[in-house]
């Protein structure tokens, strides 16, 4: 029986059920009870979301290339001071996830209550971190490989994605905008 362990050390089991119309349905649950499935069905793949939950989905057509994902990952390392981030691709979007909590702040808080923070403590804290998506690159021209860059807007009444630049090569957008992540100036982008 397939079982999957996520980054938070939680165990998930693949289950098989039926929809109301009688079609097969596959899903993950932390409960072992019920009809478990012996394998991932043909044409499907297991997907771990940025915050550690597992999903089963139809195999996605690869729209974003591995090279394009690498441009974003390399740009984050080169143009930001972020120690922790995740880059996920879904359909025509490359999303950047950043941690909500700061691991160094959590370690500092722990060190106030115990003499030292062990490597194991730090690793445990790392498993508790939650991520949110802050910036994304949307492929809008497949032929010319041009992207829009968007940031999440936190203005209360308009919690949604906001375009900041349009119809540009990915490497140029990465160089221009990822450096704003983790800084107050990020909120001035529009």
Sequence-ordered strand ranges (E) for 30-169: 44-48, 54-58, 86-90, 93-99, 131-141, 146-154, 159-169
Distances (CA, A) of 124 to 4, 49, 110, 119: 19, 19, 12, 9
Tokens found for residue 140: 């809008």
pLDDT at 6: 76
Strand partners, 88: 95
**pLDDT at site 132:** 93
Dist CA 49 CA 46 (whole Å): 10
Supply the pLDDT for residue 69. Answer: 98
Closest C-alpha among 89, 1, 15 to residue 49: 89
Highest mean pLDDT among 64-68, 114-118, 181-185: 64-68
- Name the token pair of 50: 């940025």
pLDDT > 80? residue 168: yes
For 31-88, write each residue's pLDDT tens digit.
Answer: 887 777 778 889 999 888 888 888 888 898 999 999 999 999 999 999 999 988 999 9
How many residues does this entry show for the chain?
A: 190
> What tens digit of pLDDT does each residue of 10-37 get?
888 888 888 999 988 888 888 887 777 7
Cβ proximity of 162 and 186 under 8 Å: no
Residue 175 has pLDDT above 90, yes or no: yes
């Amino acid at each position: 029986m397939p079982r999957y362990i996520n980054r938070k050390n939680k165990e998930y089991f693949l289950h098989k059920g039926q929809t109301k119309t009688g079609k097969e349905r596959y899903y993950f649950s932390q409960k072992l009870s019920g009809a478990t499935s012996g394998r991932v069905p043909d044409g499907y793949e297991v997907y771990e979301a940025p915050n550690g939950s597992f999903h089963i989905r139809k195999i996605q057509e690869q729209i974003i290339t591995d090279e394009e994902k690498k441009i974003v990952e390399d740009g984050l390392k080169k143009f930001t001071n972020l120690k922790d981030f995740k880059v996920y691709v879904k359909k025509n979007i490359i999303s950047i996830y950043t941690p909500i909590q700061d691991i160094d702040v959590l370690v500092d808080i722990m060190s106030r209550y115990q003499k030292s923070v062990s490597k194991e403590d730090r690793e445990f804290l790392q498993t508790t971190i939650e991520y949110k998506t802050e910036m994304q690159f949307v492929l809008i021209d497949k032929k010319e490989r041009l992207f829009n860059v968007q940031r999440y807007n936190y203005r209360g009444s308009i919690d949604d994605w906001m375009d900041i630049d349009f119809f540009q090569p990915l490497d140029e957008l990465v160089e221009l905008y990822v450096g704003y992540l983790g800084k107050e100036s990020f909120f001035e982008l529009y």
